[in-house]
Amino acid sequence: EKLFHSRDHSDIQTLTSHQAQDITDTYTAELFLSRYGFMQPVDWEEVPFEDSPVDFNDDFLDLQAMIQEGTPTQSDAFISALKEFQKVSGLPLTGVFDEATKLAMNKPRCGVPDKDSNDTVTHSQVGNVDTDGRHQSETVRR
Amino acid sequence: RKRHLAALVSRSRRKRDLGSTGYMAFSKMVLSWRLIGEGYSSQLSVEEQRYIFRLAFRMWSEVSPLEFVEDTRSPLEDVDIRLGFGTGRHLGCNQRFDGTGQEFAHAWFLGDIHFDDDEHFTAPNTGSGISLLKVAVHEIGHVLGLPHIYRSGSIMQPSYLPQGSGFEMDWMDRKAIQNLYGVCKGGFNTVFDWIRKERTPYGEISIRFNTYFMRDGWYWLYENRNNRTRYGDPVTLQTGWRGIPADGVDAYVHVWSRKSDAVYFFKGTQFWRYDTENDKVFAQDPGGRRYPRLISEGFPGLSGPIDTAFYDRRDSHIYFFKNRLVYAFNVAANSLARGFPKNIRDVFPPVVSGDHPDGNVDAAYFSYTHNALFLLKGQRFWQVVGSRDRWRWPILPRNGLLPHKEVNQHWLDICNVHPTALKL
C-alpha cells in the first residue's frame, strides 16, 4: 500500500520519482504547449496503443531533444501559442511566461489536448438545437 | 496481459466518423461501460469506484437522451466505454501518465478512459484531493464527443477546479451534449402541481406548490424557476408516493375548495385518496371503505380506465377524459353534470382548425406557474384559452385549444435514466 498515517489518507507521501515535472521555464512551457496542441493541433485519436505506429510520446521526446540541443524553435510560434493558452485561460495576453501563466500551466488538468486536429465541433459552435439534435447552420460567437 | 488487453481494445476502437451530420457522436442511445479489472485504483474500494462511475454516467443521462448500463459480463470488446486506473505506462496505452500532479486522466472519443492513479482521487464531498466524480464526468464528456470548453463553470474545462458542494451540470454543458444527441422527449402519464401548506415563523399559513411529472414508475420534480428538473431525478414512484401503483398512474386530481381538500390518484378502474399529512395513501375512506376503490363507485356515472383528469376550481367540477369523451363531474352533487359526456372537441374546441389532440389525452395539467391549463398528448401540448386570453382576444372560443407546442421545449430536460441507474 501507499504509506499513510491519517484516517483520510491526506498525508500520503508521494515518491519524488512519481512526481510530475513542474512547468518552471520557457523550455517546459513549450513542451506543455506542444503537448496540448497549442503549437499545432495534435492528432489525438492516432495515439492510443503500445503497438500503434504512431507514438505521441516519441514525437514529444523529439521536440524535447530539439529544444535541449539548442535548435532554434520558432519563437513567434511559441509566443503565439502562449498567447492562445493565456486567452483560453482567462489570463492577460502578455505573450510572456509570467507567474500567472506558470501557475495556470501547473494546475491539475485533463490529458486530452485542447487543440485536436480532428475537432469539428468546438465550444464556439454551440448553437441552437432542434428537436432532432441537428446542429443548425447558424453558429453563435461567444 | 497488457498486450492482450491492448489488442482486445484496439480491435474494437472505432475511428471518428463524421457521417452525414458533420459532427461526431455515438449512434446508439444505450451505452455499456465497465471498470476493467486490471485497472482498479489503489486508493478507493472497488465498490466506491464503481458507485462513483455509476453516478457520473447517470449525471449525463439526466441531461441527455443517453442511457448507460454497467456491463460486467460481456466480452470486453463488446463494452462501449472502458475505464481504468494506471500509473506511468499503463493499460497498453501509449500516452504515459506523468506522476503526481498535472495530468489526472485522459480519454478517447467513443471508448477508453484512463485515470492517473498517482493522483489523490477522492470520493465526492471529501475535502481534500481530486474529486473522482468530477474527473469522471469530464472524461465521459470526451468519450461522448465533447471537446474542452473554456467557460467558467463548465465541466469540460481542461483544468481541474476543486469541487464545491453540489457540483452539477450547468445550462451550457447541457446544451453542448444536447447539440450532439438531441433533447429528451417522451410522453407522461400525468403532470400536476402539488399544493403544500406551510406555516411561516409568524404562524401564518402559506401555500406553496411543486410541479411533478410522472412517467410509468418514475417521477421528476420540475423546478420552474430553473427550467430543469431537480438534480438527481427521476426517482421511483415508490420512493416519494407511498401506496400508489409502482408502475404508474393515469391521473391525479386535487379537489380544492372551501369545503374540500382531497387528493386522488387514478389507475385503471381504481382510485386512491392520498393522505398528504402522512405522505401515503389512505387505507380507507371516511365511510370505512378500503382503498383502492372502483372509480364507478366513487364517481357515479363514470367508469375506468380513464386517460386523465383535472379539477376546475372555477366551476368545482372534475373533468375526466376518456378516449374522445369528456365527463364533467359535479363534486358537490356527486354526479355527472348535465349533458355530459361530450366530445372533447365540443368542450375544448380548436382555435386553429385541425390542430387538436382529438382525444386520448395523456395529461391535463393546471399550472400555477403559468396560471393556465394544458392538455398533453405524446410530445405535444395545447394550452387552453383562459379568461385573460379571452379578455384580450374576445374572438377566442371559451376553453379553446391554442395551437400545439412541443413539451420538451417548454419543460426542459426531463430525461430518463437506465433502469439499473435508478438506485445507485
Closest CA to B347 of B400, B404, B403: B400
Residue B343 burial class via C-beta count within 10 angstroms: exposed 0-12, middle 13-18, buried 19 and up: middle
More confident residue, B70 or A119: B70
B3/A111 touch (CB, cutoff 8 Å), yes or no: no
CA distance to partner chain B, nearest, from residue A64 (Å): 15
User: What tens digit of pLDDT does each residue of B363-411 get?
Assistant: 999 999 999 999 999 999 999 999 999 999 999 999 999 999 999 999 9
User: Could you give the residue ranges of the DSSP H alpha helices within chain A?
Assistant: 26-35, 56-68, 75-88, 99-105
* Percentage, residues of chain B above pLDDT 70: 94
**CA of B150 to nearest chain A CA: how many angstroms apart?**
6
Tens of pLDDT, residue by residue over B215-256, are 999 999 999 999 999 999 999 999 999 999 999 999 999 999
Residues of B in contact with A2 (CB under 8 A): 42-43
Cβ B42–A121 below 8 Å, yes or no? no
Please check whether residue B23 touches A, CB under 8 A. yes
pLDDT tens across A14-47, in order? 444 478 889 999 999 999 999 999 998 887 776 5
Please report the ipTM that was assigned to this predicted complex. Answer: 0.79
Kindly list the distances between the CA atom of residue A90 and the CA atoms of A29, A101, B78, B167, B201, in Å, as whole numbers in the listed order: 17, 10, 41, 22, 46
- What mean pLDDT value characterizes chain B? 91
pLDDT of residue A141: 23
The neighbouring-strand residues paired with B263 are B254, B274
Supply B109's cell numbers: 472519443
Which of A2, A48, A108 minimises the CB distance to B130?
A108
A114 contacts in chain B (CB < 8 Å): 147-148, 158
Q: Does B108 touch chain A (CB under 8 A)?
A: yes
Which residue of B27, B103, B104 to mutate against A (max A Cβ within 10 Å)? B103
Tens digit of pLDDT for each residue in B347-368? 999 999 999 999 999 999 999 9
Using one digit for the tens of pLDDT, what is the confidence trace for A39-61? 988 877 765 554 444 444 555 55
C-alpha span between A123 and B4 (Å, rounded): 37
Q: What is the pLDDT of residue B337?
A: 97
Contacts of B21 in chain A (CB under 8 A): 134-135
Contact B181/A45, CB-based, under 8 Å? Answer: no
The set of catalytic residues of B is 139
Give B42's contacts in chain A (Cβ within 8 Å): 1-2
